[in-house]
Amino acid sequence: MDSELLNKVVSEPEHWLFYLCLAGAIMFALKIINVAADAFVKRLSAKVKEKKGLLTVLGAGGKVVAIALVIYIANAIYWSQVIKQFTPPASDKPINTCDATVELVIESQDNQNTHFMSSGGYLAFGKGTEAVLVTAAPDSWGRSVASNEYLFRGEFKMDASSSAAGKPVNILQDAEYVQVEFLESPKEFNLIRGKAVCILNSEVRIPLEFADQKVTDKKVYLRDMKVVKEILK
């Protein structure tokens, strides 16, 4: 939160007046509390020296403390709400990173357990024939997980030079489908199940589930994008 506010102060001069007023209001509230506390201490000292009215002074002191707490809490609640209005939600922040972990289980008698060092894959959000965001890696993993079940696993990342970098996270609401491909997979296969987790900027988590499907060109699709739209709305 502190770094976000500092970035806003530096990069958004149109809000400088607001933050100046905010600082002034907080300082004014603290000044009132300090003045009240000083007055209370002086009065308490005088009464103690006179050895009279101690209970009255203590009662007044309690009221001062209560008033100070009310002022402090009210200011904290009010200004925290105001500050939230100037802090964009995670879905409005620019995309800096996107990591995707993908697992596909296909029908296969293959039983090799290996790291495909030079045969990776990708996960992409697409709209029409255009890619909205792409994550990829040059390698992948494969292993048998059950009789006639083979698992492909990939850990993909968005390239820093991607066209999606710098755009708001919620551009993924425009995506019409998610496409996954492992280069080491057969061209044709039956997908038994699949899942992926995409994490953007280390704070927005999008889980994806791929239904069983017949694949004819290595590409697996997710076309029901309700989960994505619900998370980013």
Are 81 and 110 in a shared domain?
no
Which among 32-46, 73-87, 134-148 has the top mean pLDDT?
134-148
pLDDT in tens, 130-166: 999 999 999 999 999 999 999 999 999 999 999 999 9
CB-side neighbour CA atoms (13 Å) of 40: 19
Instruction: Read off the CATH number of the domain in which 142 is found.
Output: 2.60.60
Residue 223 in contact with residue 230, Cβ under 8 Å? no
Are 133 and 196 in a shared domain?
yes
Amino acid at 198: C
Q: Whole-prediction pTM value?
A: 0.67
pLDDT in tens, 201-231: 999 999 999 999 999 999 999 999 999 999 9
Q: Domain limits at 179? A: 91-232
